[in-house]
Amino acid sequence: MTRLRIGLVLAVLVVGATLLGPVLTPYDPIAPDYTAIYSPPSAAHPLGTDDLGRDVLARSLAGGRVSLTVALSATALALCLGVAVGITSAGLGGLGDTVLVRVFDAVLAFPGFLLVLLVVTILGGGALQTVLAMGVAGAPIYFRLARSFTRSELRTDYVLAGEALGATRTRLLWRHALPNFAGAIWVQAASTAATFLLVEASLSYLGLGVPLPTPSWGNVLQDARSYLTQQPWAALGPGFFLAAASLAFQFLSDGLRDRLDRRR
């Protein structure tokens, strides 16, 4: 229970802070201020300023809005795609099922980061493209989960009873089987969100994800690398928020799993 609570509190704090960013700090995250270049942390700039005098806190919060949106959208995409195809595949059975399993296995046989990198290269950089790439790369896990859960649900007595009562296959799959394993999907989703935050950061760090000037945790860190020795604060600030956010989702995932285990 404690992990779940820590995760929830952290998630609310980080998401809340990024959403309230414009209220919490008076500075523009993009406009330069040449009078305040490389300021150390002070009352005016709690996390210092970067090479263009921009407030690191303001940039971390603005970057967080973008990074969180990208990571959570990609998680939602991977989840919807994987679960929908997974349940359908298990329901289909036969040749269709075999083909789908092979396709997702092939995607899974790729080293994950290389796959995302290649898809982003094909689609071109950008926030939407990053979401699509991570969504595709993340879908196979949900496909596997949903397919194997659905297959074991289909063997239960209540499905047999439902069929005897004349319930349609579609209804049994989506209204009865899916809610029975939704918990396990949420556990995976929280963990995927934590991972995707790091993947987005890496992609944008390489300049292949969210392009500047729109700040994201990854491209703010990319920027910070070039003057790391002059102003380490510019790398520490966004790193702190990124760590808090991905820890929050990891804790949420662990906490949810513990709760599910206890209920069984």
Partner 1 sequence: MTRYLLGQLLSFVVTLWAVLTLVFVGVRVLPGDAATVIGGIDTTPAQVQAIRRSLGLDRSLPQQYASYWSGLVRGDLGTSLRQHRSVDAILLQRLPVTATLAGLAFLLSLALGTALGLLAGLRPGGVADRAALALTTLGLALPEFWFGFLLILVFAVRVQWFPVVGLPSGGVLAAFPGFVLPAVTLALPRAAQIARLTRARVLDELGADYVRTARGKGATAAITGRHVAANALPGVLPLLALELGGLLTGTIVVEQVFGIPGLGLAILDAIGARDYPVVQGVAILAVTIYVLVNWLADLAQLLADPRLRVS
> 70 or 208: whose CB is closer to partner 1?
208
Peptide bond into 213 cis (omega under 30): yes
Choose the binding region for partner 1 from 28-36, 93-101, 121-129, 132-140 (rule: CB under 8 A).
121-129
In angstroms, rounded to a whole number, what is the distance separating the alpha carbons of residues 217 and 214? 10
Total binding residues toward partner 1, as defined by CB under 8 A:
38
Footprint (CB under 8 A) of partner 1, residues 196-215: 198, 201-202, 205-206, 208
Establish if 114 lies at the interface with partner 1 (CB under 8 A). Answer: yes
CB of 176 to partner 1, least distance (A): 33
Q: How far is 238 from 208, CA to CA, in rounded Å? A: 18
∠ Cα 140 143 145 (to 5°): 110
Structure tokens at 98: 């075999």
Region of residue 231 (phi > 0: left; psi between -120 and 50: alpha; otherwise: beta): beta
Which tokens is 105 given? 């296995």
Of 51-59, 83-91, 141-149, 241-249, the window that binds partner 1 (rule: CB under 8 A) is 241-249
How is residue 16 written in tokens?
Answer: 């809340």
Would you say 94 or 111 has its CB closer to partner 1?
111
Could you tell me the smallest distance in angstroms from the CB atom of residue 257 to partner 1?
Answer: 13
Q: Which of 121, 148, 168, 170 binds partner 1 (CB under 8 A)?
A: 121
- Nearest-Å Rg of the Cα atoms of the chain is 22
Check binding of 159 to partner 1 (CB under 8 A): no
Task: Write out the binding residues for partner 1, residues 46-105 only, by CB under 8 A.
Answer: 102, 105
9 binds partner 1 (CB under 8 A): no
Q: Where are the alpha helices (DSSP H) in 124-232?
A: 127-154, 157-164, 169-171, 178-205, 217-226
User: For residue 115, what is the enclosing H or E element?
Assistant: helix 112-123
Task: State which of residues 221, 223, 255, 257 lies at the interface with partner 1 (CB under 8 A).
Answer: 221
Task: Give whole-number Cα distances, 203 to 147, 155, 207, 209, in Å.
Answer: 30, 43, 6, 5
Closer to partner 1 at the Cβ: 156 or 226? 226
Binding residues for partner 1, rule: CB under 8 A, are 102, 105-107, 109-114, 117-119, 121-122, 124, 194, 198, 201-202, 205-206, 208, 218, 221, 224-225, 228-229, 232, 235, 239, 242-244, 246-247, 250
